[in-house]
Structure 1
């Protein structure tokens, strides 16, 4: 099964081997941010664009991928970006980028619960949805540990990476 990894530029600098492995294994890469500091990133449109550009350049230098997909830190609409999100979306769209939010989550970034709780979160947040973009974080060890079981719990869904052709889920 292939996934989409929205990368943080600073993490790519620290662990270039991981970013290269993601590409070598055929997963999709998108940009998340350069430094995960919401106040700094969302201080202005220019702050966001500067942070994004740094992450983009790092990812391209390390992996050779010119990512077109991105995910806003905290989602496209959040309490940190309410003054700037519309302008950021407009600017990024004009530049040819596509943003993805999510409509289901393991809730693994909020707390670090046990694998069975992560699976319960995922199953309950997918209930009744035809299309799902699941938010999960690769830096949480419990997340990786529960993926096989999670796939068994969600047999009705086709698991595939996000691409430019996939209609995005957006808040």
Structure 2
């Protein structure tokens, strides 16, 4: 992927500097620049899930010819998920839930309810650790397979979709995904509902970026997001949008069986 090309490029630049130093006077401060450039680009690429820097990521369907969008929720199941499900039913909308394994263990009945109401679910790791980006390949594989096992125990389905915590990707994660075979799902509208306190600002952030084929990121863990969701669902209806699951938006299977 792009990370490999970035690494090869900056190694080549460094080698050129070394060779040039035999023929020309090269300032010493030029030699660290390839490493600084490599680090900056790698850090930005790792933190932007849309960049496809380490892993091919599905973040939208820009070629869609219908007024469809996909609303997605991270970090559940959670007691607030029940309110989300009620709103989705009220407005005849479908969504995709990226579930944390430990949360499925806490709230299996909520997980089963989202499944029974026709929503799609995906893998969002077992722990959602803030250090997930530092995990080894083996540890990531364990997290994903463990969560898939919980999903299968509670639904009979094997999740094919995975969303990285915080949207951070790494070389270790890329290796893990090659082992597990998951499709990595990102977004092109990040609501920042976990960061922004104002419901109005969250809603306006989504509204200003809304277009057919979008994947919207929300979290089904707060009353604030529930309130924003209702505003969003009203907006979609008023503008003749259909809220569909990610598998339908992308025309890719959400489950391996």
For normalisation by structure 2, the TM-score amounts to: 0.56
Paired position in structure 2 for 1:86: 174
**Worse-superposed segment, 63-72 or 18-27:** 63-72
Q: Which residue of 2 aligns with 1:99?
A: 184
1:65 to 2:157 alignment: yes
Give the unaligned 5+ runs of structure 1: none
Equivalent residues in 2 for 1:106-121 (5 A)? 106-111=191-196, 113-121=197-205
TM-score, normalised relative to structure 1: 0.81
Q: Structure 2: which 5+ residue stretches go unaligned?
A: 1-92, 253-257
- 2:123 and 2:144 in contact (8 A); partners too: yes
* Larger helix proportion of the pair: 2
- CA deviation profile, 1:88-135 (whole Å, cap 9, x unmatched): 34334xx3x212100002211223x23222201211233xx4420000
Larger RCO, structures 1/2 (Cα 8 Å, 6+ apart): 2
Bigger Rg, structure 1 or 2 = 2
Superposed displacement of residue 141, structure 1:
1.6
2:110 counterpart (18, 28, 38): 18
RMSD (Å) for aligned C-alpha atoms? 2.1
Secondary structure at the counterpart of residue 243 of structure 2: coil
Q: How many residues align?
A: 158
Deviates more, 1:114-123 or 1:150-159: 150-159
Find the aligned partners of 1:41 and 1:163 in 2 and give their Cα distance: 26
Aligned residue number for residue 120 of structure 2: 28
Provide closer, same or farther for how the CA distance between residues 32 and 150 of structure 1 changes in structure 2, counting only shifts above 3 A: same
In the TM superposition, residue 41 of structure 1 has moved relative to its aligned partner by 6.1
